[in-house]
Structure 1
Amino acid sequence: MSDTLVQVEHLQQYFPAGGYGKNKKYIQAVDDVSFTIERGETLGLVGESGCGKTTTGRTLLRLYEPTGGRFIYDGDVIFDVEKKIKVDMLPYRKRMQIVFQDPYASLDPRMTVGDIIGEAIDVHKMAANKKERYDIIIEMLRRVGLNSEHANRYPHEFSGGQRQRVGIARALAVNPEFIVCDEPISALDVSIQAQVINMFEDLQEQMGLTYLFIAHDLSAVKHISNRIGVMYLGRMVELADSYELITRPLHPYTKSLISAIPIADPRKARENRRIVLEGDVPSPLNPPSGCRFRTRCPYADETCAAAAPEWKEIEKGHFAACHHIDKCN
């Protein structure tokens, strides 16, 4: 059995944005993204709003139909756009799940928590009878720090942190192997975020889970992730071991992100020079030619405008896409 559970090759997701024929326009949400995730690993995915993190996760689960690329899950080709391969996703829904960003919008307000969790159990025929179904629901609630009394309540009776726990319990109900965590802490109070991250880590250890953990907060991502990928305007710009990426970033965009992490110690904060990027993120409807970061990069030149940088392994396990790695390090 291979240790590689998730293998993504040249993933592409374009959304139609008006126009007809040759004038038809597309939002290039994800463009030529490749990565792997090992069994039992957590890969963090970070970047600014609109960079394509959430679209990447949802496309892998075929919540969006991919425009291009290939996704191999545990040796099975889930989709290969070029070869026109797309498997029936229902059997894989038990193995791959998602925890959504907004716990207020992702739970049906007309259903009790027990029915929300039980729906997935029913669809995938995970229980032989009502008692077994009930036992699974209560066990899932227990795993996320809730109890049997919560099963008969409705979502509006819970706090944001508790709702997100219900969303996590729903994902766990079918005993998955791989979970896309789509910014699961961004809508929560800071005081609750650490509790939820610790719970994710405990569940991973108990159930042997593999995560794609999408977030804005680099501090949270570095805590939970084995490796971190950085996206900018639909493309991956750097990928490395978590500690390596934070301490030795190679790409100028990654350096600017890391410099923005708040530092509690005032003395160290004074020593930390924040890298402020000029300009705004370009539109994915009309991205810059060549390197997409070049309009905000202090090292950009004609080479950057002429061609997109190659995605390559700069050091063992440390990948980046930049024409001037030597110049900016």
Structure 2
Amino acid sequence: MSDKLLKIEHLYQYFPAGGFGKKKKFVQAVDDVSFFINRGETLGLVGESGCGKTTTGRSILRLYEPTKGRIVYDDTVLFDSGDVPVQDENGNDIIENGSPKLGTKTSVDMKPYRRQMQIVFQDPYASLDPRMTVGDIVGEAIDIHHLAANKQERYDKIQKLLECVGLNSEHANRYPHEFSGGQRQRVGIARALAVDPKFIVCDEPISALDVSIQAQVVNMFEDLQAQMGLTYLFIAHDLSVVKHISNRIGVMYLGKLVELADSYELIFHSVHPYTRSLISAIPIADPKTARASSRIVLEGDVPSPLNPPSGCRFRTRCPYATEQCAQEVPKWREVSKGHYAACHNLDKIN
């Protein structure tokens, strides 16, 4: 049995966005992303809105069918598109009948793996059916996977799950609109836990919650991980939260993974200019320290994923950009043990 529970290799996710035939356009939401997650660890994934974090998580679970790549879960290949290029040597999309030319995909029936791979969605209200009681929402997965022999066992499981996330038995008969945002998110977590999963994608699970509730939910995630041996992909905007809960952190920009390292290493010894700009934006509680620290402000707007820049996608906002950055895609390389980055000018920056 491998220590790596999940391996993602050269994952692409393109969405059609108008046009016909060879003129058809694609949103390049995720572009050549590779990483792994060890058993029992938390990998944080951060970046600006629209950088492809959520799309990466949903593609891993095949809620979105990936365009290209390879997904291996617990030594089982869940998806493999084969080694077919998405773009030609000039960087142009290869189009066939209005879709990326990808050959034959190899995939498996996901139902047996839904028990092992779950997701907690960002919006704790939109992700819950307003016509169903909390008991039915949590119990639905139990019914689908036949995890209870009778109604009493089903009832007992639901009560135990609600207690596990800090709710009580009376909440099972209520509807989602009767709860606060934090309580609704707890219902979503209970639903994810209902099938006793090994791996959970936490898709910005605290971004819609009050700051006072965020700490409670993060601590609950940590407690559940310790009790149940869970593995997380924790997607968020807030680096201060991610560094608290994550063992390793990956940074995405416009569909690309630009840096990946141990949590401490990334926060205190980051090498990519984009990562450094994100870290400089973390609020500092001490006013004197905050005034003494320098903020790295990026100029310009994030380019459109419909027509991303050639070469390095960050070059249009990078103060260190050179002609090489416009011509060549930076290679993913190890700058120190377990610390990876994709940048042409690492030696100049550091």
Q: So what's the TM-score if we normalise by structure 1?
A: 0.99
The residue that corresponds to 1:276 in the other structure is 297
Task: Please name the residue that 2:22 is paired with.
Answer: 22
Aligned equivalents of 1:308, 1:241: Cα separation in 2: 24
| Amino acid corresponding to residue 154 of structure 2 in structure 1 | R
1:12-161 pair list within 5 angstroms? 12-82=12-82, 84-161=105-182
Query: Match of 2:34, SS?
Result: strand
Distance in 2 (alpha carbons) for counterparts of 1:178 and 1:245: 24
Please state how far the C-alpha of 1:183 moved relative to its aligned partner: 0.3
SS of equivalent residue, structure 1 residue 206: helix
Distance 2:136 2:210 in 1: 27
- SS for the counterpart of 1:319 is strand
Q: Distance in 2 between matches of 1:120 and 1:290?
A: 45
Instruction: Detail structure 1 runs of 4+ shifted over 2 Å in the superposition.
Output: none
For the residue of structure 2 that corresponds to 1:327, the secondary structure is: helix
In structure 2, how many angstroms separate the alpha carbons of the residues matched to 1:249 and 1:314? 10
Which residues of 2 match residues 161-240 of structure 1 at below 5 A? 161-240=182-261
- Taking the aligned partners of 1:21 and 1:313, their CA distance within structure 2 comes to 40
**Counterparts of 1:80 and 1:2 in 2: how far apart (Å)?**
19
1:110 maps to amino acid: R
Q: Does residue 307 in structure 1 map to residue 308 in structure 2?
A: no
> What is the aligned partner in structure 1 of residue 10 from structure 2?
10
* Equivalenced residues, count: 329
Q: Which runs of 5+ in 2 are unaligned?
A: 83-103
Name the CA distance, whole Å, in 2 between partners of 1:126 and 1:224.
31
Deviation at 1:313, TM superposition (A): 0.9
The CA deviation at 1:306 is 0.4
State percent identity of aligned pairs.
79
CA distance in 2, matches of 1:272, 1:239: 24
Q: In 2, Cα distance between the equivalents of 1:239 and 1:136?
A: 39
Q: For 2:286, give the aligned amino acid.
A: D
TM-score between both structures, scaled by the size of structure 2: 0.93
RMSD after superposition:
0.6
CA apart distance, 1:81:
1.2
- In structure 2, how many angstroms separate the alpha carbons of the residues matched to 1:148 and 1:244? 43
Q: CA deviation at 1:320?
A: 0.1
Three-state SS of the structure 1 residue aligned to 2:15 is strand
